[in-house]
Amino acid sequence: MEYQTILNEIQDEVLVLESKGAVADYIPQLGNVDATKFGVYLYGIESEGVSLGNAFEKFSIQSISKVYSLVLAMKVLDKDIWSRVGVEPSGDPFNSLTLLEYENGIPRNPFINSGAIVVADILMSYYQNPKEALLNFVRKISGNDAIDYNEKVAFSEKAHGYRNASLANLIKSFGNIHNDVDAILDFYFYQCSLEMSCQDLAKSFMIFANKGMLLDSDEVLIEPQQAKRINAIMQTCGFYDESGEFSFRVGLPGKSGVGGGIVAVHPGYYSVAVWSPKLNKKGNSYLGIEALERLTTKTGFSIF
Amino acid sequence: MEYQTILNEIQDEVLVLESKGAVADYIPQLGNVDATKFGVYLYGIESEGVSLGNAFEKFSIQSISKVYSLVLAMKVLDKDIWSRVGVEPSGDPFNSLTLLEYENGIPRNPFINSGAIVVADILMSYYQNPKEALLNFVRKISGNDAIDYNEKVAFSEKAHGYRNASLANLIKSFGNIHNDVDAILDFYFYQCSLEMSCQDLAKSFMIFANKGMLLDSDEVLIEPQQAKRINAIMQTCGFYDESGEFSFRVGLPGKSGVGGGIVAVHPGYYSVAVWSPKLNKKGNSYLGIEALERLTTKTGFSIF
Amino acid sequence: MEYQTILNEIQDEVLVLESKGAVADYIPQLGNVDATKFGVYLYGIESEGVSLGNAFEKFSIQSISKVYSLVLAMKVLDKDIWSRVGVEPSGDPFNSLTLLEYENGIPRNPFINSGAIVVADILMSYYQNPKEALLNFVRKISGNDAIDYNEKVAFSEKAHGYRNASLANLIKSFGNIHNDVDAILDFYFYQCSLEMSCQDLAKSFMIFANKGMLLDSDEVLIEPQQAKRINAIMQTCGFYDESGEFSFRVGLPGKSGVGGGIVAVHPGYYSVAVWSPKLNKKGNSYLGIEALERLTTKTGFSIF
Amino acid sequence: MEYQTILNEIQDEVLVLESKGAVADYIPQLGNVDATKFGVYLYGIESEGVSLGNAFEKFSIQSISKVYSLVLAMKVLDKDIWSRVGVEPSGDPFNSLTLLEYENGIPRNPFINSGAIVVADILMSYYQNPKEALLNFVRKISGNDAIDYNEKVAFSEKAHGYRNASLANLIKSFGNIHNDVDAILDFYFYQCSLEMSCQDLAKSFMIFANKGMLLDSDEVLIEPQQAKRINAIMQTCGFYDESGEFSFRVGLPGKSGVGGGIVAVHPGYYSVAVWSPKLNKKGNSYLGIEALERLTTKTGFSIF
């Protein structure tokens, strides 16, 4: 069956579901989004890209950005990362301080907030202008120079970011942040404010489906081994404390954000991005998971 | 490259490594095993089985048995399981009570001890003789009627099993065990005492590589969807609090036991079992992980 | 003002309060008690005993018995106790396993369940018949040979005692219980089933107000230093995770039980027992605390 | 026996002990103190003050200041405090975030860092210049206008205060801090930098021994009920997670600081301050506790 046909079926089935979730509203910029938005973009290795609904509209990617900053950090400093952040699922909500305290300021993995803050610190030690470096990298792998930060979102996150400030100060107290806490948080909130469409996201995640290479040019961006490892971390840690459930229902490595986006990858086959702003209780897009579960059921195969 | 050639290379590389681990010795039956044993058996979907070293010698499979009891429970009672046990990684050592208390007696997943105890309770409510039912099932999927429990091991586990008794009583206090606590523990300790060879393990796990069917006869033992889900749980929860690390280094769903065995599966391709008794600090076979990491590196592909 | 006058005033004020609590009902023998019972007995060092309401009626003393078993253990084995149980408040509900696991099976103090179970183990190692020894001791210090265990209550507790069985097995797994777990639990549940009146309780606690001596005979039962220390533990640990609140409101060392009893002591002055079966959310007698708060306010002095 | 005689005996016994502790050195201003300093000042209600050693030398009072800020807050705003901070011992080290997270930003008591930060916030909402208000209050109750903050210490604490910044931000994220986080921390670090002698400390704590009144003038500074309550909190929470041990060994309400000072009170009789910079593992003065334990043993009475 063609991917487009499958997507159309998914749309028919999913849009009649009652979305039980709620739009994230801890900052007004997220709360004001139209809750009925729904978009899908699927990019196959051996086929054209196919789309559904609001696939070309930009939204706040939030935690999905953690994958980009990790990739960039691995690209420039791979060996130095893994003594400062782990690769184990946290078993706790995405912002818990308990484990971080118990484990002496070494975050469980790079996809919980504390881990992403340490990765931000690593990038800040390496780059003169880490905001610019990250933006250039994201533009390159998604082939879209119009991608940008949303300064209002970044500013608003910062004004409400006491819990992240708590995390960053705790890590600093253990010596696992080397730069100024306020500067790190500023970079971190910028990174989360990136705005991209489903098409942008799916295209950029093709490097994880394509052994680290850009699909268009076969340019090697990261080693195949690195792509494999990022997929492994997305599989076990990509969905906060719902990672097991996502693995169980969907069976693909992926990453979600509180803006309602989810990107997933079937290595060797395709990457796919979904957007629907209402979140379930664990902070992941309610309809997004429904759509992706149908995708692996209808295509008849997942990584398992 | 042929699987046998790859296995030979792995043997050459791994056996010169210093195994930094230690044999489990909390019961004498485990402590007395020859620490230098090393065996591998790989069973390809489209090829003959290949072996290395002590691949045909039986050993105590311990926690690997949790996969068999889960499969049997899913086979007979799938829907009833998932309200009583979760599918999330625990983020804690395999025997922690903290999360269990915090989460009202619902174990995080079926591969930590508390979860396996609940699965044992489910089987005990269904079968008149659950020990016999489980043994018959394991014999069938491994095609080996000589497989059996080791009563001495079961008895010895029971005599040292205070922590498991603590877990079972805690779960019972929350109402998530329906049968008698002592009877459940007796069944649980029997299940862990199963003795199998690498060949037995690899053959029996072929159902997860082969969409739920026996390879020889194509008999459907579980639904393809169920095989996929068990693989997903093995991926995120199969190695206690080293599951992320195993996923990161090896990239296959699998399950380990403190007897030094590990079984892993590449869905659609092969199943493989390794045995080396020395364990790392997280309780997983030290050389076993080394061997499997080389396998996915040398074959050039994992599920990621 | 005379103690009797003060008690009468307290009765007038307290009995018009709406008791917001609920009677403990985890076993039928406790649930069936008349919720309107209310009794007070105060025993002054230099005055007659005075009483109020149902002061001479027996009820289930439950956790108050932990003081008796501790005193008996200190009397025979003082030095050996404090390496096996601490003297710090737990900061957690009375039956939490988390701290116990984190602190390797050494209970925080002898007044949480886990600590009392360790004390029971200490007595069981010392006495051939610890039930008899404890009963004789309680009869002696209260001057009432009619005091006895209630076997129905003990049996019923045991049949619902999964959480205590979980605690005992966990402690045993750390090696901090030396005798058989079932035997310890049997003794522990017997101890909790003791039935005494407010008069019995107040009289027996006089040894803590009177530097370790029986009031009638000046017989030294424990050293003054030991009486001081038990008062100190009651002060910081006597009311589960409401110990600070009791200290704050009442300002006396004391101990409560889920049967609705509270005994408190003003060293050098008096001991007092209150009984009202409805418990607040922390498991302490709602009206009992109200009455004792008025007592220290009206007498104008507490230990602080 | 005269207090002075008792103090002399204590000095003889304590100064020959090997102090197993270590001077706090997380900031240089504390680390540079002479570790052999030893001073005691005891102020009796019905007798002259008596002293020992370096009793008139100023040192950094650190956490002892938490008592002053609490008293001032109770004096101006009593009712408003207790919904924002509890009165229960924490059962955890003085700077733990775990409980704070679990209990939604309501600190367990005003004598752990998180609780003192909330009290600082309360004072900051009430006073235009809280630093000045607190300083004036401390000068008044100790009768010494030369008492002052040490700005170098305050500044140094701030430069190393990441864990306190983590606590403050976490509390703010729960809405239990109303003012600016940096401003609160600035005030908090100033408060901890107060420098006082044993004589100053003992004199100021007389209000807790004297039912809330200044001894010289009988001026009522706080209600008797408030004095009683502060004593109760000192008793259960004054020594971090060694409060039970202090109560058990010494039997007096008191408060310690990492500068090596301890102040304790026997309501109705005396207040006493000790200074010895070496701390035990729980952060309390090693010789200070030894001295106070001897004081209550030699005087033959404590509050128990």
Mind listing the pLDDT tens digit of every residue in chain A (304 residues)? 689 999 999 999 998 998 788 999 888 889 999 999 999 999 999 888 999 999 999 999 999 999 999 999 999 987 889 999 999 998 766 567 777 887 889 999 999 999 999 999 999 999 999 999 999 999 999 999 999 999 999 999 999 999 999 999 999 999 999 999 999 999 999 999 999 999 999 999 999 999 999 988 889 999 999 999 999 999 999 998 899 999 999 999 999 999 999 999 999 999 999 999 999 999 999 999 999 999 999 988 788 8
Query: What confidence score (pLDDT) does residue A80 get?
Result: 83
Residue from A67, A102, A303 to probe the interface with B (highest B Cβ count within 10 Å): A303
Q: What separation in angstroms does the CA of B185 have from each of A97, C165, C179, D164?
A: 35, 14, 20, 47
Judged against a pLDDT cut of 70, whether residue D94 lies above it is answered with no
* pLDDT-above-90 percentage for chain D: 82
Domain B3-62+194-298 has CATH 3.40.710.10: yes
Q: Which CATH superfamily is domain A3-62+195-299 in?
A: DD-peptidase/beta-lactamase superfamily (3.40.710.10)
ipTM of the complex: 0.92
Q: Where are the domains of chain A?
A: 3-62+195-299, 65-192
3-state SS class at C49? strand
Q: Is C15 near chain B, with CB under 8 Å?
A: no
Query: What confidence score (pLDDT) does residue B95 get?
Result: 59
**Average pLDDT, integer, range C292-302:** 90
The answer to whether domain D3-59+197-299 and domain D63-192 are alike in fold is yes
Residue of C92, C43, C87 lying closest to C232 (CA atoms): C87
Judged against a pLDDT cut of 60, whether residue C77 lies above it is answered with yes
Q: Which residues of B touch A233 (CB under 8 A)?
A: 244, 247-248
CATH architecture of C3-62+194-299: 3-Layer(aba) Sandwich (3.40)
From the CA of C97, how many Å to the nearest CA of chain B?
7
The domain D3-59+197-299: what is its CATH number? 3.40.710.10
Q: Is C169 near chain B, with CB under 8 Å?
A: yes
The CA angle A244-A246-A248, to the nearest 5 degrees, is: 65
Query: What confidence score (pLDDT) does residue D93 get?
Result: 61
From the CA of A180, how many Å to the nearest CA of chain B?
30
Query: What confidence score (pLDDT) does residue B143 get?
Result: 95
- Tally C-beta pairs within 8 A across C and D: 103
Among chain D residues, the shortest Cα distance to C267 is held by: D304
**Average pLDDT, integer, range B66-70:** 98
**What burial letters (b/e) apply to D235-264, b meaning 16+ CB within 10 Å?**
bbbbbbbbbbbbbbbbbbbbbbbbbbbbbb
Query: What confidence score (pLDDT) does residue B97 get?
Result: 79
DSSP-assigned states of every residue in C149-191: --HHHHHHHHHT-HHHHHHHHHHHHTT---S-HHHHHHHHHHH
For residues A293 and A251, give the distance between their C-alpha atoms in angstroms, rounded to a whole number: 8
Q: Do the Cβ atoms of B165 and C165 come within 8 Å?
A: yes
From the CA of D146, how many Å to the nearest CA of chain C?
30
Q: Give the class (CATH, top level) of A65-192.
A: alpha beta
Q: Which residues of B touch C98 (CB under 8 A)?
A: 97-98, 101-102
Q: Which H helix or E strand runs over D275?
A: strand D270-275
Instruction: Summarize pLDDT for D207-264 with one digit per residue, the tens.
Output: 999 999 998 888 999 999 999 999 999 999 999 889 999 999 999 999 999 999 999 9
For residues C205 and C43, give the distance between their C-alpha atoms in angstroms, rounded to a whole number: 9
* pLDDT-above-70 percentage for chain C: 98
For chain D, what is the mean pLDDT?
Answer: 93
Pairing of strands B22-23, A195-196: unpaired
For residues D108 and D89, give the distance between their C-alpha atoms in angstroms, rounded to a whole number: 7
Phi–psi pair at C79, nearest 5 degrees: -60, -30
Among chain C residues, the shortest Cα distance to D242 is held by: C88
Q: Do the Cβ atoms of B304 and A227 come within 8 Å?
A: yes
3-state SS class at C44? strand
Model confidence at D48, in pLDDT bands (50, 70, 90)?
confident
Any idea what DSSP says for residue D95?
A: T
CATH architecture of D63-192: 3-Layer(aba) Sandwich (3.40)
| pTM for this model (two decimals) | 0.93
Q: Is position C162 annotated in a ligand binding site? A: no
Q: Is position A14 annotated in a ligand binding site? A: no
Residue of A202, A251, A166 lying closest to A3 (CA atoms): A202
- Give the length of chain D: 304
Among chain A residues, the shortest Cα distance to D159 is held by: A173
CB nearest B101 (choices: C98, C169, C181): C98
Looking at C193-285, list the stretches that DSSP marks H as alpha helix, in order from N- to C-terminal side: 198-209, 224-237, 243-249
* pLDDT-above-70 percentage for chain D: 98
Neighbours of chain A (3+ CB pairs under 8 A): B, D
Judged against a pLDDT cut of 80, whether residue D98 lies above it is answered with no
DSSP-assigned states of every residue in D128-186: SSHHHHHHHHHHHHHT-TT-B--HHHHHHHHHT-HHHHHHHHHHHHTT---S-HHHHHH
Q: Is C101 near chain B, with CB under 8 Å?
A: yes
Residues 6+ apart with CB under 8 A from C123: C69, C72, C73, C130, C133, C134, C187
Strand ranges (E), chain C: 22-23, 39-44, 49-53, 59-60, 195-196, 254-256, 261-266, 270-275, 278-279
Judged against a pLDDT cut of 60, whether residue D116 lies above it is answered with yes
**Average pLDDT, integer, range C296-300:** 89
From the CA of B233, how many Å to the nearest CA of chain A?
6
Q: Is position A164 annotated in a ligand binding site? A: yes
For residues A79 and A81, give the distance between their C-alpha atoms in angstroms, rounded to a whole number: 6
Q: Do the Cβ atoms of B91 and A109 come within 8 Å?
A: no
Do D197 and D56 form a contact (C-beta atoms < 8 A)? yes
Residue of D199, D198, D182 lying closest to D190 (CA atoms): D182
**Count of beta carbons in the 10 Å neighbourhood of residue C73:** 24
Do D262 and D256 form a contact (C-beta atoms < 8 A)? yes
Residue of B244, D277, D143, B184 lying closest to C162 (CA atoms): B184
Query: What confidence score (pLDDT) does residue C101 get?
Result: 80
